[in-house]
A and B are shown apart, each in its own frame.
Chain A
Amino acid sequence: MSEYLILRHRAIPGLERLPVYLEHQGFAAFRKAVTELQPAQVIQMVKDSGLRGRGGAGFPTGLKWSFLPNDLWPHYVVANADESEPGTFKDREIMESNPFQFLEGLMIASYAVQANVAYIYIRGEYWHIAKWLDQKIAELEQAGLLGEHLFGTDYSLRLYTHLGAGAYICGEETALLESLEGKLGQPRLRPPFPATAGLYNRPTVVNNVETLANVPLIVLNGPAWYHNYGTDKSPGTKVFSLSGCVNQPGNYELPFGVTFRQLIFEHGGGVPEGRTLKAVMTAGASSVLIPMDESVLDTPMDYESLNKFGGSLGSASVIVLDDSVNMAWLTQKTVNFFKHESCGKCTPCREGTYWMNRLAERIMRGQASLREVDLLYQVARQMQGKCLCALGEFSTLAVVSSIDRFRADFEAVVTKEPIYG
């Protein structure tokens, strides 16, 4: 793509440095918001832009902001930088290479809901990025763009980073808030939602890094401009993280509606060594397997079009699978991940992921018969709709879809009679 909205550093060298960012209209949107716009006007602009959350759920961002009640204070904004979905590495590039655009988005969001403190919750493995952002925040304080009485107004804002410590579940927003409060990262029962009872039981907005990085451009150029990109229902661009069996893995910023064919073949260079494309996961490990053939390849990738495969775009972590991959092996890989990351709070997920992992391991060791494949399927089906948060549900998606759609792969690794011991 010739035009970048989010990965602008690829077109503008040095954008990670404050003087360069300022030269390219940096913080003009934040200044405009704080000095010229009422908070409600900023929220309306983001609503009109149609911006949807990039962390996975695709919830309308402006609507989320508008839910915060104005009779309960203080308000908080928390940036979800806990990027941990296998196959996802987009927020990392944004924070490493275009940090100020993300920070400016966070600052505008904070102004829009009148939060005076915002936190950036970063996964522990991104230790270097937290340190990097701390430097950037210090530069902004020195430049008078963060702190007290900004631009001579009454508005004050402080940003703080908070480092996680290796728990996938903390990407779930209520688990993230628990973790930020110094507790175990376990999801809360909802409602109440964070918009009314979030951090420290106060109204809180939690937004993904990429979502926030969209905001400065919307405020600067207006909501109508934003609709020049993407589709009607999914405006804007998306950073697709492309990984797995593909020649050129990496992040690709493309408008919503780009097809599988364009992403995997035109941008990703196709599958390696002349092998054949077999399936794709679109939301990292939290995906159904979408079998690929010529007709499916032309499906547009947006929040709506993937529904017909029982799938979702999620955070657009596209894992490409070719004909060298056995889906029983893949199933064991994914359930092992979820078994490791299940927080243990609710029984269906804690026990379900444990038993799915046991069964999948037996299958891959060649000890299981087809009956255990069916048992694995049943365990997954029984978990669905019964878990406290989405993690439990996600853990079943690859299991059910691979057994439904690639049963031959399981038949190839099972034995006739089960082997015990």
Chain B
Amino acid sequence: MNTLLTKYADEIRAILAKYPPEHKRSAVMPLLYLAQREAGYVTAQAMAEIAEILEISITDVASIVGFYTLYYDQPHGRYHIQVCTDLPCALRGAEDFLKALCQALGIEVGQVTPDGLFTIEEVKCIGACHRAPVFQVQGDGEIVFHENQTLETALAVIEALRQKAQQEKEGTA
């Protein structure tokens, strides 16, 4: 049974409708986003199901996951804190900002906080060079920009996400 297709029949139909029926492979990227929203990363089962929906090989799907940086094939923190340290951001203190943020959270780039909520990543240009230091939070199927940041404002953003997660946990407990 294709669980993605069963659970999200309408959404998948709407995605497929954007592309000519003979070129439904075009839908691989939006379907991967859908799968990632569901599980936090793209599971092997999701790849197989997407391959089945689009009538392409699992290898084709996996190659897309591997090529593009916003897809993950392993579980990480629920929220990816993605700090840009590219040239224009670096000229406005982004490298020191990243260092301070890592220190405050007690983890290094690529690591996950002990509560499993946050992964810190160093990323390339995200198109906010004039408002550096800047990071985006990728998680829950969304990407949210946070611009003109200081360590204090960044930690406030992270604390708010932590509280949201905590409340969800208590709500379902």
Interface residues of A (CB under 8 A from B): 83-89, 92, 123-128, 160, 162-168, 179-185, 200, 241-245, 249-251, 285, 319, 321, 325, 330, 333-334, 337, 340-341, 343
Contacts and interface: CB of A to CB of B under 8 A. Distances in A.
6 contacts: A84-B124, A124-B70, A241-B130, A243-B92, A244-B91, A249-B129
A88 B127 contact: yes
B165 interface: no
A125 B126 contact: yes
B91 A319 contact: yes
Contacts of B142: 127-128
A204 to B, nearest CB: 13
A337 B63 CA distance: 22
A92 B143 CA distance: 15
Interface stretch (B23-31, B110-118, B154-162): B23-31
Contacts of B131: 249
Interface residues of B, number: 40
A287 B86 CA distance: 15
Nearest to B65: A165
B127 A92 contact: yes
Contacts of A249: 92, 129-131
A85 B125 contact: yes
Contact of A182 (B25, B33, B90, B145): B25
B91 A245 contact: yes
A165 B67 CA distance: 9
A128 B30 CA distance: 14
A243 B93 CA distance: 13
Nearest to A169: B67
B20 A200 contact: yes
B124 A340 contact: yes
A265 B28 CA distance: 47
A377 B143 CA distance: 39
B109 interface: no
Interface in B47-74: 54, 56, 63-64, 67-71
B130 A243 contact: yes
Given A124-B68, A166-B70, A337 B30 contact: no
Nearest to B17: A160
B64 A182 contact: yes
Instruction: Say whether chain A's binding surface is mostly helix, strand, loop, or mixed.
Output: mixed
B87 interface: yes
Contact of B69 (A126, A167, A200, A251): A167
A124 B136 CA distance: 12
Contacts of A242: 130
Contacts of B126: 125
A124 B65 CA distance: 13
A341 B86 CA distance: 12
Nearest to A181: B26
A125 B68 contact: no
Contact of A125 (B27, B127, B129): B127
Contact of A128 (B25, B32, B143): B143
Contacts of A86: 86-88, 124-125, 129
B133 to A, nearest CB: 13
A127 to B, nearest CB: 4
Interface in B9-40: 18, 20, 23, 25-30, 32-33
B145 A84 contact: no
A283 to B, nearest CB: 12
B68 to A, nearest CB: 3
Given A162-B29, A244-B87, A250-B130, 9 more contacts: A84-B125, A123-B127, A165-B29, A181-B25, A182-B23, A183-B64, A184-B64, A243-B91, A249-B130
